[in-house]
Amino acid sequence: MVKMTFTFDERTVETLRRAASRLKKPQSVIVREAIQDYASRADRLSDDESRDMLKVLDRMMARRSKRTQAEVNAEIAEIRAVRRAGGRRTRSE
């Protein structure tokens, strides 16, 4: 373990003390768990990021395809045939 020193405002200190008392855990454990929880949530997209990505997806879906339905159907049939054939039988180089 590494010992560190932090400065918290009074409200945060009181919240930390109440949580530690209620959960019957040392304050250092509460801080470690809070950091882990924050880190796990920080890896996900924020509401703004999700909204922006959905807008991009909506714009893409609104665009007309330049291929005909027959071309799309032919590509799908080709993909299905390759999948049914079991994929690659020899090593690629």
Domain containing residue 33: 10-83
- Residue-wise pLDDT for 11-57, tens only, equals 999 999 999 999 999 999 999 999 999 888 777 888 898 899 999 99
Does pTM surpass 0.85?
no
Tell whether 88 is covered by a domain: no
Q: Are 20 and 30 in contact (CB under 8 A)?
A: yes
SS (H, E, C) 59-86: HHHHCCCCCCHHHHHHHHHHHHHHHHCC
Tokens matching residue 90 = 């020899």
Q: Please, are residues 16 and 29 in contact by the beta-carbon 8 Å criterion?
A: no
The number of folded domains in the chain is: 1
Domain contains 90: no
Q: Is residue 92, in this structure, part of any structural domain at all?
A: no
In a domain, 31, yes or no: yes
* 2 belongs to a structural domain: no
